[in-house]
Amino acid sequence: QVQLQESGPGLVKPSETLSLTCAVSGYSISSGYYWGWIRQPPGKGLEWIGSIYHSGSAYYSPSLKSRVTISVDTSKNQFSLNLSSVTAADTAVYYCARRLQVTRAFDIWGQGTMVTVSS
C-alpha cells in the first residue's frame, strides 16, 4: 500500500531554513496525484502549507508563500519542503500527504515529524 514518511532535523535555529523530505513508497510519484505539506503547531489546528504536482507545478499558502519552496524528485520518489527564516511560530508537527487531484482532499498521510525552532 502507499506509504509516506517524513524525515529531517527535529531542531532548527531561528532565522535558518527548515528542510524536510517525504519519501513515498508503494506508488510512483511520476504516475500522478498532487503531494502536499500540512503542519500543526502544538495544541493547535491544521494549516495547509502547499502542494506540488509530479510535474513540479507548486502552489503555496498565501500566508507562507514568501518563505516556502516545495520541490519533487521523481528519481528518488520523494518531495521536499524548505521553509526559510523560521521563528518559534514555525514550531509544529509537519505532515506530508497525498492529495486527490480534483477534490483537493488529502487521502494518505505520513505519521508526521516534530520540528522545534529554538536556539
Footprint of another protein (CB under 8 A): 38, 45-48, 51, 59, 61-62, 95, 100, 102-107, 109-112
| Nearest approach, Cβ of residue 12 and another protein (Å) | 21
C-alpha 26 chain-centroid distance: 18
Single out the residue of 97, 79, 91 nearest to residue 21, CA to CA.
79
| Nearest approach, Cβ of residue 1 and another protein (Å) | 12
Maximal C-alpha separation, the chain: 41
Nearer to another protein (CB atom), residue 66 or residue 119: 66
Nearer to another protein (CB atom), residue 19 or residue 112: 112
- Give the span between the Cα atoms of 11 and 22, in whole angstroms: 17
| Nearest approach, Cβ of residue 15 and another protein (Å) | 27
Nearer to another protein (CB atom), residue 10 or residue 45: 45
Nearer to another protein (CB atom), residue 3 or residue 30: 3
| Nearest approach, Cβ of residue 45 and another protein (Å) | 4
Helix (H, G, I), strand (E, B) or coil at 90: helix
Q: Any residues with CB less than 8 A from the CB of 67 and at least 6 apart, and which?
A: 83, 84, 85, 86
